[in-house]
C-alpha cells in the first residue's frame, strides 16, 4: 500500500486517544500487516498530518512506514497564529476609552482592545440663576453621555441698572451754587453714581431761601431760578458730568407748580 492510501486508511479508521503524551491506535485486525511490520526495517517512511492545527488547538503529525504502514513516531504541530480582523469600533466616552472588537477569521474567537483613555464629560449648560450686576449666577451642566451634572458660578455682570437722579445737596458760596446729584442701582441698591458742579455766578448775591428749581429725575436736568433778578441756569448731565449754562433772563413766575423751593446749605 502506498503512503497516500496508508494516510487515508489511518484517518478513516483510527480512533486516537492521547494520554500522558502517548498516542494509541485502535484498528481492525490486520494479520498480514502485523507480520510485515515484524520483519520490516521501516527504511521507507513519510510524515502525514493526522490532525490539522488551528489557532486554538495544536495539530498532530505521524511518521508512517510506506511498506508496513506502521506508525513510527508522532509530533505536535504548533497552533496557527490568529488572523484577527476589526469587526466593530466603539468611540470613547466619559466612562470608557475607545473599544476595538476583533474577530479571528479562522475560529471566530473575539477580543476587545482598549485604545487611549476616557474623554471629558460633554456638558450641555443651562442657566439656573441669572447673574446680576453684583451677585453671581449659577449654571448647571448635564453630560450628554452619562447624565452627570455639574454646577458652576457665573461672574457678576457689573452692569448696573440705575434709577432716577435726585438732588442730594445744594450749597451756596457767594453768587454761585454747588449742586450734587445722585442715583442708585435699582438691582443691588448699593452702587451709586454722583455728579457735582458749580453754577455760573448770578449777577448778585441772593438770599439762599429764595432759590427755586425745576427738575427732571430721569435725565437729571435741573433749572435753578432766582426770582429777584429773574435769572436762571440750566444743568445737564452728559458723559457722567454735570454742566451748567450761564445765567440768562427768565420771566417765569415761581407761583407755578413746576417750581419748588431749593433747600440750600451754607
Domain ranges of the chain: 3-77, 84-115, 123-154, 166-261
Strand partners, 98: 115
Does position 1 have pLDDT exceeding 50, yes or no? Answer: no
Reduce the DSSP state of residue 21 to 3 states and report it.
coil
58 HSE (CA, 13 A, CB side): 9
Cα distance between residue 108 and residue 193, in whole Å: 79
Summary mean pLDDT of the chain: 85
Cα distance between residue 70 and residue 39, in whole Å: 12
Does position 23 have pLDDT exceeding 70, yes or no? Answer: no
pTM greater than 0.75? no
pLDDT tens figures, 56-78: 889 999 999 998 989 999 999 99
pLDDT of residue 36: 61
Cα distance between residue 1 and residue 32, in whole Å: 12
pLDDT of residue 9: 52
What CA–CA distances, in Å, run from 66 to 22, 23, 76? Answer: 22, 19, 21
pLDDT tens figures, 152-203: 999 999 999 999 999 999 999 989 999 999 999 999 988 999 999 999 999 8
pLDDT of residue 27: 40
pLDDT of residue 254: 76
Cα distance between residue 165 and residue 193, in whole Å: 9
Task: Scan for cell 489511518, then name that residue.
Answer: 10
Q: What are the start-end ranges of the E strands in the chain?
A: 15-19, 22-26, 45-51, 59-65, 71-77, 84-90, 98-104, 110-115, 123-129, 137-143, 149-154, 166-173, 176-184, 192-198, 212-216, 221-226, 231-238, 241-244, 248-249, 260-261
Angle formed at CA 255 by CA 250 and CA 261, multiple of 5 degrees: 85
pLDDT bracket for residue 220 (50, 70, 90): very high
Does position 81 have pLDDT exceeding 50, yes or no? Answer: yes
pLDDT of residue 8: 55
Does position 25 have pLDDT exceeding 50, yes or no? Answer: no
pLDDT of residue 55: 84
- Name the residue among 112, 116, 50 with its Cα closest to residue 77: 50
Amino acid at each position: 500500500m502506498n503512503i497516500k492510501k496508508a494516510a487515508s486508511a489511518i484517518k478513516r479508521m483510527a480512533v486516537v486517544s492521547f494520554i500522558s503524551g502517548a498516542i494509541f491506535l485502535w484498528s481492525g485486525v490486520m494479520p498480514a500487516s502485523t507480520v510485515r511490520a515484524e520483519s520490516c526495517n521501516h527504511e521507507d517512511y513519510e510524515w502525514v498530518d493526522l490532525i490539522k492545527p488551528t489557532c486554538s488547538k495544536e495539530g498532530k503529525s505521524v511518521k508512517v512506514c510506506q511498506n508496513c504502514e506502521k506508525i513510527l513516531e508522532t509530533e505536535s504541530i504548533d497552533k496557527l497564529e490568529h488572523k484577527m480582523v476589526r469587526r466593530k469600533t466603539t468611540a470613547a466616552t466619559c466612562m470608557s476609552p475607545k473599544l476595538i472588537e476583533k474577530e479571528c477569521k479562522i475560529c471566530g474567537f473575539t477580543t476587545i482592545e482598549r485604545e487611549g483613555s476616557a474623554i471629558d464629560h460633554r456638558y450641555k449648560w443651562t442657566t439656573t440663576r441669572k447673574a446680576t450686576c453684583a451677585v453671581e449666577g449659577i449654571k448647571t451642566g448635564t453630560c450628554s453621555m452619562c447624565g452627570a451634572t455639574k454646577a458652576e458660578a457665573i461672574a457678576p455682570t457689573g452692569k448696573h441698572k440705575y434709577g432716577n437722579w435726585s438732588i442730594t445737596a445744594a450749597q451756596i458760596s457767594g453768587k454761585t451754587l454747588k449742586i450734587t446729584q445722585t442715583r442708585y442701582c435699582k438691582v443691588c441698591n448699593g452702587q451709586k453714581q454722583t455728579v457735582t458742579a458749580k453754577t455760573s455766578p448770578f449777577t448778585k448775591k441772593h438770599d439762599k431761601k429764595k432759590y427755586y428749581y425745576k427738575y427732571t429725575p430721569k435725565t437729571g436736568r435741573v433749572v435753578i431760578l432766582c426770582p429777584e433778578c429773574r435769572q436762571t441756569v440750566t444743568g445737564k448731565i452728559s458723559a457722567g458730568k454735570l454742566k451748567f449754562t450761564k445765567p440768562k433772563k427768565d420771566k417765569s413766575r415761581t407761583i407755578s407748580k413746576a417750581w419748588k423751593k431749593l433747600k440750600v446749605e451754607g
